[in-house]
Structure 1
Amino acid sequence: MSDIVKVVRLYAKEAPVGVLDGRMVGLLAQPEQYAEWAVSPEGGGFRLTVKGTEETVVAEGVERAPVAVRPDDSPASVWRLQRVTEEGVRTVAGLDELRDGFYVIDQNGFALGRDLFEDRSQLPKRVFVRTDDRDPQWRIEVLA
């Protein structure tokens, strides 16, 4: 395993996350579209890139909006990971601290997450920056 990247699977509200039409989505019934993500340290945070591509998770502003996934090396694609445990929430400082578990993913205090209220279909569920979800926890599964 490389010291400069970890490969993970991301889950938003327990739905594996992938990319659809350039946007990050939770996939309830489309296993062929689940993505593996390369997590790499960058500028005091982490960049989340679709494994094998240059497509990274990007906030396209500070307003509530669907999260883009596209090539980007600006600060808009750098995210803070905060591990949630019984003892509280602690910011992850390095890849060596990244383990299977629950996290908050944010940028400048604006959390990523799915909608608080969604339709009940099996359609993909959009992920938003500045989510309205009051508890936007992610599950991260470290693969390599």
Structure 2
Amino acid sequence: MKFGGRICVVVGLATFIIAMTTIVEPSEYLFGTEYEVRVINGFTNNSSLPLVIWCSNDEDDIGGRALQEHDDFSWKMKTRFWSNNLMKCTMKYDQTRKKFDAFKASRDAHRCGPFKICTWLVSENGFYFSNDLVNWYKDFEW
């Protein structure tokens, strides 16, 4: 009976490994996937007052910048099996503040496209997302 139980465990483990390699590319599952996240100041006239951004998550504080017109702030985000895979940013313009999820793996893993590029354009009337810098979709209001 002992020998039969070990075979079941080995067969079960082998089945799990095969299933995981067909669902997720092994290197992505084990080592994570790297995304490029970029936030662009899309305001049309804020030369006297910058758009301020500050980003962090549970593991990293990547800091922030004051963005003048058309400036951008970008970073690489690597998903991890053991992480929440989330990067939150706070945007501030004049007296207005808005916190938003600049990268959330459960939402962005597929919509960032095959090149794994996630771009935000922040303007006076909202936060727009694109994975190709051509098609923009409004996700958030101020």
Higher-strand-fraction structure: 1
Greater Rg over alpha carbons, structure: 2
The two structures have a TM-score, normalised by structure 1, of 0.30
Q: Which has the higher contact order (CA 8 A, sep 6+)?
A: 1
Larger fraction in helix: 2
